[in-house]
Structure 1
Amino acid sequence: MIIGRISRISGPVVNARGMEGIKIRDLVRVGELGLVGEVIEVKGDQVSIQVYEETDGLRVGEPVKSDGKPFLAELGPGLLGMIYDGIQRPLEVIRDQTGNFIARGASGDPLNRERRWHFVPTVKVGTPVAHGDVIGWVQETPAIQHKILVPEGVSGKITKIKEGEYTVDEPVAELDTGQKLYMKQLWPIRRPRPIVQKVAARVPLITGQRIFDVFFPVVKGGSAIVPGPFGSGKTVTQQALAKWSDADIVVYIGCGERGNEMTEVLTEFPHLEDPRTGQPLMNRTVLIANTSNMPVAARETSIYTGITIAEYYRDMGYDVALMADSTSRWAEALREISGRLE
């Protein structure tokens, strides 16, 4: 454990001393309340930290603690249908704890620790496995099978695996190396998930909107931008793409959006019907809400959180539509944070 003391506070940027051995992008807990932050600059034992929560009331001399690990996203069954903030705190869980406003220092498990999933193995004892191999699946929603993958840096032969009911914290398999495999994985959000080969984009994304498919075609694996002034229909366009495109999974990031716009998304998405299955569209959607009145540091991080979740489902073989609304406000957050650095 690395422990230092606050030496300077400038909005969302906090400076601390006595943090020998800490690294860029390490996660820290700031002050008596344990506000979540991330190291963005290191000068000897002095560090600059972007704090993901409001820093009102912090005092010079309060402790700053870190276990030397980066910000890790939790990946596993239970992501679909969830609404998170920019640092993957489950907003519905926190609302039950603190009410309609997020209390500083509030936290919650991104994945439900109590729910039991029916795990069905797809490999047998003695099967050699390595990073990225599928060892089984659980039915995450009526439309989506969640494939359980071997994490990075792990390989060996299966010595124990059994169908049954498990929580995300219980091992579902064991290797000859003694390594236990779980349904849950942790992944640093700043690191892209590894790929074997970058495949040339050839398959079109069928958006379900004829004007887009004819005049503004998009390929799967590609990217597009929807420019326009306030009130021109950008958010409505994204909702139409989420509902009618032929993507399997939708990850929607409200990055710095006005509160009323994000409220509209949060209230309408759960009631949209999936034209494929007739089930709620939320059964294959993850929402990340970080409105303009939330701290700018968390706004900057929300994009990386969403990309990490999208890449995780991509690794299972699903087509994922990632939508960030809006990247201009993401750029505003980057400018504000950089402007407060000495």
Structure 2
Amino acid sequence: MHNIGTIYGVNGPVIYLKGNTGFRMQEMVYVGKEKLVGEVIALDKEMTTIQVYEETTGLRPGDEVIATGSAVSVTLAPGILNNIFDGIERPLERIAETGGAFITRGVSVDSLDRTKKWKAHIIASVGDYLNPGEIIALVPETRAIVHKCMVPPDVEGKVISVVPDGDYTIDETLVTLELADGTTRELSMTQHWPIRVPRPTSNRFSASVPLITGQRIIDTMFPIAKGGTAAIPGGFGTGKTMSQHQIAKWSDADIIIYIGCGERGNEMTQVLEEFSELTDPRSGNPLMDRTTLIANTSNMPVAAREASIYTGLTLAEYYRDMGYDVAIMADSTSRWAEALRELSGRLEEMPAEEGFPAYLASKLSAFYERAGMMHNLNDTDGSVTIIGAVSPQGGDFSEPVTQNTKRFVRCFWGLDKSLAYSRHFPAIHWLTSYSEYLTDLAPWYQDRVSPKFVDYRNRLMALLNSESSLLEIVKLIGSDVLPDDQKLVLEIARVIRLGFLQQNAFHKDDTCVSMEKQFLMMETILYLYKKSRALVTMGHPMSILKSENIFDRVISIKYDVPNDRLEMFTQYHRDIDEFYQRVLEKNA
């Protein structure tokens, strides 16, 4: 028998029940006649407080609240990929069929299709002893991803019966286990897991493999590891969402989970339309075959926005347990923090900095700590990488969400308004950004790309830093007074900025660049610098070097060298050698 309580007071998405209801903390409840979904967030013997994940208009004191006996959970089974959910894993297409374009309240639809048959290949055999997390069946979920049905993490036992290979729904029994206490447990393709509890793993690895995104400023300058965490903070219009789109399209993650948390509805529509038209560069199938979208737009109830982040995380951990590399795009964690602030205000909690609750930091850390490269219970390795966009008001990085996020992420890609307005994309500023993964990933770069890779990257960074300090002098006294060697630094830094850091998402060869091409581009720029510096040291003026047009030729490498014609780089080295000879002969 489920416990039942009655509403005593309603305050926006928060409702109060008087007396000792017998409800449990974080238990899921159904509120009122329309059975709105809610969650218990505070308890004492006089009062039970519940946050409701739907619009509470029309609720009144005296309405019934029914406890479900379980925490807010997600359904984990084939059918998650190529799907669009709201913040509490209700499929938006199914909701649209029943309630039209706008989500009606109290709509009750299954998270996943319970009638569809999936082709299952059973791996378990009678007599096997199955430990938690072991794979019992393989189901081709999409053309790109094989779904591995697993024993739930809290179950183990001996197989006493299995079904033959064939087509089954997600609820039909595939394997029956005899547990240690003599009882039996039927396993289907489906698991349920509470969203606020991390799924267990055997071991966590340190960062050692980069997530390759094809974006030069990320892969070369500020890399992120698989299982790493990154923040993309930036003001309005600086390209946070587009940067996440680029990573979602081109990164070498197996599965992408895109959480639109409190973003504008038309922005999510753009994601949906773009992703459904895009072809996955790795398999040639539609990109949606390995993507799940969680859409919780700014006009949806605030409490569900807070839950949407955890829903996406739990789906990601489930696929990680199968041995996949999953990347989460959370856009944006600021809207999530604002939802916490609003709920905290309604609960009359003591506000901290800028009205955010005092527990903002611990909530953010609990979210980012669920990332990682893991050794799973079934002896596979998988990872969850979290890339969170932060939208500081007015582009002010000193506000609490950005500052607290900085404490928990090891990669910070700071977007700059002036770069975005001058059409330099991605607008990640090289002086405010950093990556703490660089030293961890250095062995990988040395083995897989080149032993010189990290050294070249550091040299580019040093040139950009020199440019920054020289520009301060130029602002005061103009560039004409600088000696030629410093003018050369400014010119080479321009080549690095325009030819290497700036990238065109709409150009077929520049939208995604292999690590090998990134290295060869760095090598060419540094070779040009070396030869030019030799000329300047001999006394040749910068005006003559600039009249040769070689700097602009090197900038246009990104367009002129196709990704499959990397042998063309040798021609550029010859051109630089010829340029060197010409300048020598001119001034002989």
- TM-score, length basis structure 2: 0.57
Residues 216-270 of structure 1 show CA distances to partners (whole Å, capped at 9, x for unaligned) of 1000011101111111111111111011000000000000001221121122111
Aligned residues: 342
Q: Which moved more, 1:207-216 or 1:18-27?
A: 18-27
Cα distance, 1:123 vs. partner?
A: 2.6
Residues 47-82 of structure 1 show CA distances to partners (whole Å, capped at 9, x for unaligned) of 111111111111111111112211110001010011
Q: Which residue matches 2:475?
A: none
Cα distance, 1:203 vs. partner?
A: 0.7
Residue identity opposite 1:271 in structure 2: E
Q: Which residue matches 2:138?
A: 137
Q: Which residue matches 1:176?
A: 178
* C-alpha contact 1:83 1:289 (8 A) present in aligned 2: yes
Q: Which moved more, 1:328-337 or 1:117-126?
A: 117-126
**For the residues of structure 1 that align with 2:72 and 2:342, how far apart are their CA atoms?**
21
Q: Which residue matches 1:304?
A: 310
Cα distance, 1:29 vs. partner?
A: 0.8
**Unaligned residue ranges in structure 2 (runs of 5+):** 349-588
Could you tell me which of 286, 289, 296 is aligned with 2:295? 289
Q: 5 Å matches for 1:122-271?
A: 122-161=123-162, 162-177=164-179, 178-271=184-277
* C-alpha contact 1:2 1:19 (8 A) present in aligned 2: no
Higher fraction of helix: 2
**For the residues of structure 2 that align with 1:251 and 1:125, how far apart are their CA atoms?**
36
RCO comparison, higher one (Cα < 8 Å, 6+): 1
Q: Which residue matches 1:86?
A: 87
Residue identity opposite 2:171 in structure 1: D
Larger Rg: 1 or 2? 2
* C-alpha contact 1:3 1:18 (8 A) present in aligned 2: no
Q: Which residue matches 1:31?
A: 32
Aligned structure 1 segments of 4 or more residues deviating by more than 4 angstroms: none
Q: Which residue matches 2:15?
A: 14
Residues 270-322 of structure 1 show CA distances to partners (whole Å, capped at 9, x for unaligned) of 11110111111000001000011111100000000000000000000000001
Residue identity opposite 1:173 in structure 2: V
Cα distance, 1:18 vs. partner?
A: 4.3
**For the residues of structure 2 that align with 1:87 and 1:123, how far apart are their CA atoms?**
32
* C-alpha contact 1:257 1:291 (8 A) present in aligned 2: yes
SS at match of 2:247: helix
Q: Which residue matches 1:105?
A: 106
Could you tell me which of 329, 333, 339 is aligned with 1:327? 333
SS at match of 2:269: helix
**For the residues of structure 2 that align with 1:253 and 1:187, how far apart are their CA atoms?**
18
**For the residues of structure 1 that align with 2:172 and 2:46, how far apart are their CA atoms?**
39
SS at match of 1:213: helix
**For the residues of structure 2 that align with 1:28 and 1:290, how far apart are their CA atoms?**
21
* C-alpha contact 1:6 1:64 (8 A) present in aligned 2: yes
Q: Which moved more, 1:169-178 or 1:328-337?
A: 169-178
Q: Which residue matches 2:280?
A: 274
RMSD over aligned Cα atoms: 1.0
SS at match of 2:71: coil
* C-alpha contact 1:5 1:18 (8 A) present in aligned 2: no
**For the residues of structure 2 that align with 1:294 and 1:20, how far apart are their CA atoms?**
29
SS at match of 2:105: coil
Residue identity opposite 1:148 in structure 2: C
Q: Which residue matches 2:502?
A: none
**For the residues of structure 2 that align with 1:227 and 1:78, how far apart are their CA atoms?**
33
SS at match of 1:257: coil
Residues 28-61 of structure 1 show CA distances to partners (whole Å, capped at 9, x for unaligned) of 1111111111111102152111111111111111
* C-alpha contact 2:20 2:44 (8 A) present in aligned 1: no
Cα distance, 1:108 vs. partner?
A: 1.0
SS at match of 1:226: strand
User: Identity percentage over the alignment?
Assistant: 57
* C-alpha contact 2:8 2:18 (8 A) present in aligned 1: yes
Residues 167-208 of structure 1 show CA distances to partners (whole Å, capped at 9, x for unaligned) of 011000112342111100000001000011111111111011
SS at match of 1:232: coil
**For the residues of structure 1 that align with 2:11 and 2:103, how far apart are their CA atoms?**
22
**For the residues of structure 2 that align with 1:67 and 1:297, how far apart are their CA atoms?**
19
**For the residues of structure 2 that align with 1:196 and 1:58, how far apart are their CA atoms?**
46
* C-alpha contact 2:21 2:48 (8 A) present in aligned 1: no
Q: Which residue matches 1:2?
A: 3
Cα distance, 1:20 vs. partner?
A: 2.4
Q: Which moved more, 1:168-177 or 1:14-23?
A: 14-23
**For the residues of structure 2 that align with 1:117 and 1:302, how far apart are their CA atoms?**
27
Residue identity opposite 1:163 in structure 2: D
SS at match of 2:69: coil
SS at match of 2:70: coil
Cα distance, 1:153 vs. partner?
A: 2.1
* C-alpha contact 2:75 2:193 (8 A) present in aligned 1: yes
Q: 1:133–1:218: structure 2 CA closer, same or farther, 3 Å change rule? A: same
Cα distance, 1:17 vs. partner?
A: 2.3
Could you tell me which of 339, 342, 348 is aligned with 1:336? 342
Residue identity opposite 1:135 in structure 2: I
**Unaligned residue ranges in structure 1 (runs of 5+):** none
